[in-house]
């Protein structure tokens, strides 16, 4: 992992309002600080990971890994967060596959190994598994 904090340009290399929003939420934060902030409202912050520039995304992906690892299966009752995170990973792969593939593949394996323990209803669980399996397939097909 890089040990420098991503710059505003790392968050928004394209001049995109969504990248600028991600910068406003996470710019200047360490991974630990970003994790604490993310956990307060993951449903609000998850899309920021979709629109971060590659350098910022790779710096902050440990936030998502830790979040998935520490999800309490007893309280994970709907699929919203994990499904939207999968969409974010798809977006990152489309933006810069070569640099993000390894990190996203690792996160995908983690999600797929943890999802079986959740309290989601079967319909939601199948939806999340299907989306993350699509991401897994993308990381294999584009290599």
**Which tens digit of pLDDT belongs to each residue from 71-89?**
765 565 555 678 889 999 9
d(CA 32, CA 63): 8
DSSP secondary structure letter of residue 6: P
Residue 75 is assigned to a structural domain of this protein: yes
Residue 129 is assigned to a structural domain of this protein: yes
Look over the chain and give the mean of its residue pLDDT values, rounded to a whole number: 88
Residue 2 is assigned to a structural domain of this protein: no
Residue 84 is assigned to a structural domain of this protein: yes
Residue 68 is assigned to a structural domain of this protein: yes
Distances (CA, A) of 103 to 72, 74, 135: 23, 27, 12
Give mean pLDDT, residues 56-60.
96
pLDDT > 70: what percent of the chain?
90
Domain limits for position 73: 8-141
What is the number of structural domains in the chain? Answer: 1
Residue 1 is assigned to a structural domain of this protein: no
Indicate the pTM of the whole model: 0.86
Confidence of residue 1 (pLDDT cuts 50, 70, 90): very low
Residue 52 is assigned to a structural domain of this protein: yes
Residue 101 is assigned to a structural domain of this protein: yes
């Amino acid at each position: 992992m890089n040990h420098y904090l991503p710059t505003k340009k790392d968050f928004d290399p394209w001049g995109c309002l969504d990248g600028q929003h991600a910068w406003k939420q996470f710019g200047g934060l360490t991974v630990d600080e970003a994790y604490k902030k993310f956990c307060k409202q993951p449903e609000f912050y998850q899309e920021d990971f979709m629109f971060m520039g590659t350098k910022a995304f790779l710096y902050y992906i440990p936030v998502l890994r830790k979040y998935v690892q520490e999800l309490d299966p007893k309280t994970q009752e709907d699929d919203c967060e994990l499904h939207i995170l999968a969409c974010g990973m798809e977006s990152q792969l489309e933006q810069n596959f070569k640099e993000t593939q390894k990190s996203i593949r690792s996160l995908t394996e983690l999600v797929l190994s943890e999802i079986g323990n959740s309290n989601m209803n079967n319909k939601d669980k199948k939806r999340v598994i299907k989306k993350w399996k699509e991401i897994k397939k993308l990381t294999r097909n584009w290599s």
